[in-house]
A and B are shown apart, each in its own frame.
Chain A
Amino acid sequence: MEQVKDTQISEHPLPACTVSISPHVKSRESTAKIMWTVNACLLPPLLLSVFIFGFQTLIITLVSVFSCVIAEAVSQKLLHRSITIKDGSAVLTGLLLAYIIPPGVPYWMPILGAVFTIYITKHLFGGLGFNIFNPALIGRAFLVATFPVAMTSAWIMPMNDFSIFKYMQPGVDAVSTATPLYVLKHYGLAALIEKYGAVSTMYKDFFLGVRPGCIGEVSNLLLLLGGLVLIFKKYISWHIPVSVIATIGVLTWIFGGEGYFNGDPILAVLTGGVFLGAIFMATDYVTSPTQKYAQLAFGFGVGAITVLIRLKGGYPEGVCYAILLMNTLTPALDSWFQPKRFAPAKGATK
């Protein structure tokens, strides 16, 4: 045991002690820890997509992440705010943006999307915590609106031979192909099943990720595992993901086929980025409600709008716009669903 001489106590001042308001201990969690954990949970799907689509996907992702980080630093500099690129939130936006654009697009597209979304949607709205819309989704929506052809056709066929160097040249070599939902919408279920041989093979391929699509939406299995890690760590709760997926499944089953109760719920939830959106984007703290019941309502809204867009709208996917639309309702949901107060004084509730 360390002994300090008496004189040291009475004659020498104490080490400078902090004085601040309680509590004096804090949990070990931090904003940066949460963001980096989510980033880590998003890596396995990326690795898989490199195997399926080739290095092109990795390059697109790196371009997107670096542009988001640089855009964040520059935006903060321009707005005279402290630079917080180490907190991982710009990296997260970059990852998510790369995951929801077709892997065959030219490199300048994610750069443009990143600059637009980080500067306008995030920092002009006040920075982390104050943005109304999910930045990655706005990035995608912006690119889809500006470059509709590239953004809806630069899909790459999965390489069954795993020759990962096949598509090193962006845009040029990319064999344009259609996403499953596009085939379903324009050619019907039979055409889609024909492509895969059998229904069960199709489900299996979709679940494991061997099919054309965005980087991050390819493997539902890996996305699900990442989501389970986040739920286990209590970084997200199950309410939003489950309500989104369940709503899409049930509503598609009821309305998605010939007559009623004839739709294919499994196909509906395994395609079109439902897992990525439900687990990693609809659960974004900043743009989703904080209360559990509000989260259920939010998830239901996302699911319902997605199905509506898919069945009645012009886009085969729909999750992206459904989340963005529900983002606008988040403040309202938060004020409709307040936490239950502990026996408040009479007449004192809001």
Chain B
Amino acid sequence: MSTSLLTFAKGGVHPPESKEITERLAIEKMPLPEEFEIPLLQHFGAPCQPLVKKKDRVEEGDLIGQVTGGLGANVHASVTGTITDIGTSIGPVSLNVPSVTISRDLEAPDKTYTPSDWKSLSPQELLSKIKDAGIVGIGGAGFPAHVKLAPPPGTKVDKLILNGAECEPYLTTDHRVMLEKPEEVIVGAQILLRVLGISEGHIGVEANKSDAIDVLRKAAEAQKLDGAKISIDALQVKYPQGSEKQLIESVTGRKVPGGGLPFDVGVIVQNIGTTKAVYDAVVLNKPLYEKVITISGRGISRPANLQVRVGTRIRDIVQYLGGTKPDLAKIVMGGPMMGFAVSTLDIPVTKTVSGVLFLTKEEIDDQPHGPCIRCGWCVEACPMGLSPNEIGLYVEAGRAADTAPFGVFDCFECGSCAFVCPAKRPLVQFIRLAKQKAKR
């Protein structure tokens, strides 16, 4: 491997990539199911206020949930149809989030969007379009994009980084979007640069996606960038390369301090999916209700990169892809390192879901955990320089409350420590408990 690849200094692991399952499959548009269940909380912040009631008719793209003030992002109807229920769904942020169920009008045609000129718009107008479209950080915790793009006055931001690392095993959505829609990603980047009033953009892509790096570089050359510089940076393949702090370090060498945010070091980070959504919102005037997700793992009959609408139930996706296999052992929303396991298929796809994995017994590891043998591998693996072994011992000894000095709040639960631990210790679980009990 070339030594010129950018990377972060401390820790990191190399889980099996398992991307070969889906990386060559073109994005496939899933036929619309009959019913959609759209959570009103798909982001960091408070749930949206529903703007519709039962029996109302909505058009595709209509606003159905509005930000109530404070942190939040709008929610739109994914299809044309009738509201059949306003109830609750199992959501990514918490169980039982308020949600709107739409029964699709089977006759209604898909809404079409035509590109409009965005270059005449001011940064303020661009930002309000992004806000109206309900864009959140895709693939992360779902932080509202318009908030992230408006750093508090007085902060000096000079770099935009687009996160195309996609370091989680299995997931190939960003890869396929970069490969199939490079122009939209580059235009989205230009829009973001304009909003921030800066000219330096980076797209960080792990070197295992060299095809995407090539097409993005070509697309960036072909676009008229109006003085902006967008460089495509090849990153070393190492988990968690796509974690915000590690990505910023890899690309700029700057380190976001504990408790700080990227703009503290002059950087704003957005995901590839988010950038594509910004393109849709600004150029096509299309709100965020459709996205690409990876359905993978050896427990699903037909893995795919699917373009689905928000509110599509996992059950419908499984049905469309031919069902699960008998040796399915675990269903994971998101990547295998940081995603969460679920036990039901009656969960709607939200804006932040980047994939659903159907893992067999061979793919997961369910060996019982043993005592810490002090090998120190977790310490070496931790990108934050923590000692997960010590935190685990404290928690086991009932002293979770005393773990703040170990830096538990720096831990972003990347799972590198638990991945390498030969004793299979549930270190992330220990640390979550520590975070609950320890005083900041």
Which residues of A are interface residues toward B (Cβ below 8 A)? 1-6, 8-10, 14-15, 17-27, 29-31, 33-34, 84, 87, 127-130, 285-286, 290-291, 338-346, 348-350
Contact = CB atoms under 8 A, between A and B. Distances in A.
Contact of A21 (B383, B405, B428): B428
Contacts of A84: 370
Given A9-B324, A26-B418, A341 B384 contact: yes
B339 A26 contact: no
A3 B419 contact: no
A345 B301 contact: no
Contacts of A21: 340-341, 426, 428-429, 432
A138 to B, nearest CB: 17
Contacts of B256: 343
Contacts, number: 208
Contact of A22 (B258, B339, B387): B339
Interface of B: 10, 13, 15-16, 169, 245, 255-260, 301-302, 315, 318-319, 322-332, 336-345, 357, 359, 363-367, 370-377, 379, 382-387, 389, 404-407, 409-410, 413, 415, 418-424, 426, 428-429, 432
Given A3-B323, A24-B364, A339-B387, A345 B257 contact: yes
A27 B426 CA distance: 13
B376 A291 contact: yes
Given A21-B432, A84-B370, A342-B10, 16 more contacts: A9-B315, A9-B324, A10-B315, A17-B329, A20-B366, A20-B429, A21-B340, A24-B359, A25-B16, A27-B422, A290-B374, A339-B385, A339-B386, A341-B407, A343-B256, A348-B404
Contact of B406 (A31, A87, A345, A350): A350
Contact of B339 (A24, A30, A87): A24
Nearest to B331: A17
B242 to A, nearest CB: 15
Given A9-B315, A348-B258, A22 B340 contact: yes
Contact of B336 (A4, A23, A29, A291): A23
A19 B319 contact: no
A350 B394 CA distance: 15
Interface centre among A24, A25, A30, A128 (most CB of B within 10 A): A24
Contact of A23 (B259, B331, B418): B418
Contact of A290 (B329, B375, B415): B375
Nearest to A30: B422
Nearest to B376: A290
B376 A285 contact: yes
A286 to B, nearest CB: 5
A15 B331 CA distance: 10
Given A4-B323, A343-B258, A349-B407, A24 B371 contact: no
B219 to A, nearest CB: 33
Contacts of A285: 373-376
Contact of A24 (B16, B257, B336, B375): B336
Interface centre among B337, B341, B363 (most CB of A within 10 A): B341
A15 B238 CA distance: 33
A349 B337 CA distance: 27
Given A3-B323, A339-B386, A350-B405, A19 B343 contact: yes
